[in-house]
Amino acid sequence: MPLLPTPAFSSPYYLFNGHLQTILPSMARRAPVISYTRERLTTPDHDFLDLDWSKVGSDTLVVLSHGLEGDSHRPYIKGMVRALNSAGWDALAWNFRSCSGEPNHLLRSYHMGAIEDLDLVVRHALATKPYARIFLVGFSMGGNLTLNYLAQGNGQLPEQVQRAAVFSVPCHLKGSCLQLAKPQNRVYMKRFLKSLHLKLSEKAQRFELDLTQYDRIKTFEQFDERYTAPLHGFKSADDYYESCSSVQRLHQIEIPTLMVNALNDPFLSPECFPVEQARQNPHFYLEMPATGGHVGFAENFAKGHYYSERRAVEFLSQAF
């Protein structure tokens, strides 16, 4: 029954609710200095993915997947890269299509179920060096993507993929979208829609894309119905959510995988806390700390100490 007890973690007293625990680490954290080496990987459909490597000469590689509208330079990614390098492991932070600072070539972009891109990154990494083991770390959307990838089962994964840790995962997409549509989460919704609009505006200069009345879109459900679903081969937003929600596939995961979702995460609905799945799958471990916010988990904000980084290293180290 890998439903883990509440960890010995609490947020600093001055980050006294889920919103502060989400916003301060995102907006005010000083990102660690990481000397990335960038590599551009061409995809089979003639697009590209930008990969940022931070190597220490290890036979173990950790592949990191960022969140919605994130990238490899976000403080939570760089903080995790530093922690992984300090543990003695190479790190590869890949950027989803259109997230590396340069528009991707195609009309399509990235989405919650694009496991073919993650698979391409993993297999490319193994082709560049015969790593003995590969771990996966994902945040938010990148966590959902990681879980969908792992749910293919060992028969479809490279045998080197041995463990994973994911944080703040909206594993039930419909529920998370409804949660973010609530009035108290309007500030997050506006920020996401603004960022997505900038990328769509660039694409509209190269492709047929109707952006009229975009300002009427107020929720992810409206955005996904109009753009994400049709641009990526889904019948509707509901079809997209049903197809790409990892919660329905957690029973298929066959390698040790840790999910840490804070109970006060403003992005997550009750369906994003898969207690029964953790009880039924001996490979799937669930932690639900009372605090942490969304991709926050600051233990000591001033000193840059984060539970997510400490816990990921602890869990992944169990492979040795």
Q: Express each pLDDT in 187-225 by its tens digit.
A: 999 999 999 999 999 999 999 999 999 999 999 999 999
Give the pLDDT of residue 10: 82
Domains of the chain as residue ranges with CATH: 18-171+249-317 (3.40.50.1820)
Number of Cβ within a 10 Å radius of residue 126: 16
Q: Express each pLDDT in 248-290 by its tens digit.
A: 999 999 999 999 999 999 999 999 999 999 999 999 999 999 9
Whether 137 has a pLDDT exceeding 90, the answer reads yes
Residue listed under structure tokens 């492991």: 89
Enter the DSSP assignment of 236.
S
Q: Look up residue 156 and give its two tokens.
A: 């479809």
Percent of the chain with pLDDT over 90: 89
Q: Express each pLDDT in 171-191 by its tens digit.
A: 999 999 999 999 999 999 999
How far apart (Å, rounded) are the C-alpha atoms in residues 44 and 84? 30
Give the pLDDT of residue 276: 95
- Is the distance from CB of 219 to CB of 181 less than 8 angstroms? yes
Closest CA to 265 of 289, 229, 246, 234: 289
Closest CA to 4 of 302, 282, 200, 272: 282
Helices (H), 211-274: 220-223, 229-231, 237-244
Give the pLDDT of residue 223: 97
* pTM reported for the whole predicted model: 0.96
